[in-house]
């Protein structure tokens, strides 16, 4: 007998969970659409070379590879089949893999079609991705990403529009207020340059990104472990300690890094985005410049951001940034991009925790037509269909059972009404409609029932 477990790190979604997930996705989609983004779907699987080398060594490890069909060992020699040859064997027997994120498939799509599409091109994509990671709480091997990206423009208006999208989505989901942490990779890179260490940028950002988690002391240890001397560490401390409102922070930074061209450019970009934001009225989120925000991914080159909800201990629920070369690895140069990703699974958890899903959600039927006697089957079916034709979601109980059982069924399915029809009702063309919540029950004609249920 086979196990009923789903594969490790994967989940079934019940009707109730899907009702909520779809609600969440629909709000996000609606907002993306309103901002002019068009939907895109790409295949679950890509050619393996599309995926490898894009996410670093660790990312390659986490790719799900798909075994070739047929006799995939015929070109291998017996001596190839040893542990030392694992890499060679892997590429020989697996030529496809499951997508690891939505950005690379988008980059491939843009690289392939940029001439026809016309740039800038704005797409959103809500699809599952797969990672052969070890599952943990809130972390799965199959999970959804909600991405929106703009390809083909360096305009910071695009960066700013993502702030407006987050504000719109969170506002409509009735989420608590949020802080939109904003930084610019050029500031970090410029600052790293002043430390005179070629590798400083990555090592420094990895360390200061943990500031929230491990505190300044922990960051100092981490920096020391990564080979920064005390002078550097002091500079980094001063850098992350900058305080005040956004303008004050930027002014201080300007003084600190005035001599560095790269940093000055980053500061100017931050000022431009803030200028645009100030022209709009935000309802949910407030933008906060935060120089300790680093974001792990190395391909960001300009604006970076991360959004956190006030009073919710969930980490960031949306994040993204700007990258200069979206499509370079596919042989197309000079296509910059900027994007945003909602943390769908996390948002779902927050909504659940705070009980923010509307109570009336669901793919529930309005009415269940009860089955009192199978000799009326044709009449029940006809009745049900007339209700459906009038736009009322109707379920027919397809076999005879005790009325109590059928009502319990309706209750379990959260169907608010039952329609009871037997000998006398069909004779009189007057059917019993019962409201399961109030217990109220009366005889009505079909057209009256349609009127009541359509309210």
Partner RNA sequence: GUGAGCAUAGCUCAGUCGGUUAGAGCGCUGGUUUGUGGAUCCAGAGGUCGCCGGUUCGAACCCGGUUGUUCACCCCA
- Residues binding RNA (CB under 7 A): 5, 8-9, 58, 131, 133-141, 143, 145, 206, 210, 214, 296-297, 315-316, 319, 341, 343, 345-346, 372, 402-405, 407-408, 411-412, 420, 422-425, 432, 434, 436-439, 441
Tell me the DSSP string of 125-172.
EEEEEE--PPPBTTB-SEEEEEEEEEES---HHHHHHHHHHHHHHHHH
| Closer residue to RNA, CB minimum distance, 120 or 128 | 128
* Alpha helices per DSSP H over 226-371: 230-240, 246-256, 261-278, 344-353
Residue by residue, DSSP assigns 317-355 as: EEEEEEES-SSGGGT--S--EEEEEE-HHHHHHHHHHTT
Paired tokens of 426: 């069909």
Please say which residue, 129 or 189, places its beta carbon nearer to RNA.
Answer: 129
Q: What are phi and psi of 236, to 5 degrees?
A: -65, -35
Of the candidates 291, 305, 294, the one whose C-alpha atom is nearest the C-alpha of residue 341 is 305
* 160 versus 316: smaller Cβ distance to RNA: 316
Query: 29 is written with which tokens?
Result: 């989609």
Name which of 8 and 68 has its Cβ closer to RNA. Answer: 8
Burial 41-51 (b: 16+ CB within 10 A, else e): ebebbbebebb
How wide is the angle at C-alpha 246 spanned by C-alphas 243 and 249, nearest 5°? 40
* Cβ at position 442, least distance to RNA in Å: 10
The residue count for the chain: 455
- Computed from CA positions of residues 37, 41, 46, 52, in that sequence, does the dihedral angle turn out positive or negative? positive
Q: Which is closer to RNA, CB of 138 or CB of 259? A: 138
In the chain, DSSP finds a helix count (H) and a strand count (E) of: 17, 16
Nearer to RNA, 103 or 394 (CB): 103
Shortest gap between Cβ of 219 and RNA (angstroms)? 12
Closest to 187 in 3D by CA, of 321, 286, 285, 325: 321
Strands 303-309 vs 178-184: parallel, antiparallel or unpaired: antiparallel
Least gap, CB of 426 to RNA (angstroms): 8
Q: How far is the CB of 378 from RNA (least distance, A)?
A: 17
Task: Find the shortest distance in angstroms from Cβ 420 to RNA.
Answer: 4
Measured between alpha carbons, how far is 428 from 314 in angstroms, rounded to an integer? 60
Q: Which is nearer to RNA, 23 or 140 (CB)?
A: 140
State the minimum distance, in angstroms, from the CB of residue 446 to RNA. 15
Closer residue to RNA (CB): 112 or 134: 134
């Amino acid at each position: 007998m086979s196990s009923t477990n789903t594969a490790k790190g994967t989940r079934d979604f019940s009707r109730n969970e899907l009702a909520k997930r779809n609600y969440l996705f629909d709000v996000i989609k609606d907002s993306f659409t309103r901002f002019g983004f068009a939907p895109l779907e790409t295949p679950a699987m890509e050619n393996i070379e599309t995926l490898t080398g894009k996410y670093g060594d660790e990312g390659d490890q986490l790719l799900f590879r798909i075994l070739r069909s047929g006799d995939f060992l015929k070109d291998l020699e017996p001596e190839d089949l040893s542990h030392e040859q694992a890499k060679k064997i892997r590429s020989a027997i697996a030529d496809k893999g499951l997508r690891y994120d939505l950005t690379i498939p988008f980059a491939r799509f843009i690289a392939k079609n940029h001439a026809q599409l016309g740039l800038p091109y704005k797409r959103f994509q809500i699809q599952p991705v797969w990672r052969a990671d070890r599952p943990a709480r809130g972390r799965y091997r199959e999970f959804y990403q909600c991405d929106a990206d703009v390809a083909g423009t360096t305009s910071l208006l695009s960066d700013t529009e993502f702030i407006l999208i987050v504000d719109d989505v969170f506002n409509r989901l009735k989420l608590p207020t949020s802080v939109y942490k904003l930084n610019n990779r050029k500031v970090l890179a410029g600052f790293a340059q002043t430390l005179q260490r070629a590798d400083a940028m990555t090592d420094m950002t990895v360390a200061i990104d943990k500031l929230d988690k491990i505190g300044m002391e922990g960051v100092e240890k981490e920096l020391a472990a990564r080979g920064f001397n005390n002078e550097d560490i002091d500079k980094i401390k001063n850098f992350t300690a900058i305080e005040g409102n956004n303008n004050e922070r930027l002014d201080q930074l300007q003084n600190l890094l005035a001599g560095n061209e790269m940093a000055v450019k980053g500061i100017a970009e931050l000022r431009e985005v803030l200028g645009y934001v100030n022209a709009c009225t935000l309802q949910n989120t407030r933008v906060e410049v935060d120089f300790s925000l680093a974001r792990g991914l190395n391909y960001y080159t300009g604006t970076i951001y991360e959004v956190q909800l006030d009073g919710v201990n969930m980490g960031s629920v949306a994040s993204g940034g700007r990258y200069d070369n979206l499509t370079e690895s596919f042989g197309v140069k000079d296509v910059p991009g900027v994007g945003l990703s909602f943390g769908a699974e996390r948002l779902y958890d927050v909504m659940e925790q705070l009980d923010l899903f509307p109570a009336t959600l669901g793919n529930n039927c309005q009415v269940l037509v009860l089955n009192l006697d199978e000799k009326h089957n044709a009449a029940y079916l006809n009745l049900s269909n007339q209700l459906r034709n009038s736009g009322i979601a109707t379920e027919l109980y397809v076999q005879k059972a005790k009325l109590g059982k059928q009502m319990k069924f309706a209750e379990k399915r959260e169907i608010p009404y039952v329609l009871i029809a037997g000998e006398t009702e069909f004779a009189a063309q007057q059917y019993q409609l019962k409201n399961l919540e109030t217990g109220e029950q009366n005889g009505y004609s079909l057209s009256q029932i349609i009127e009541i249920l359509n309210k």
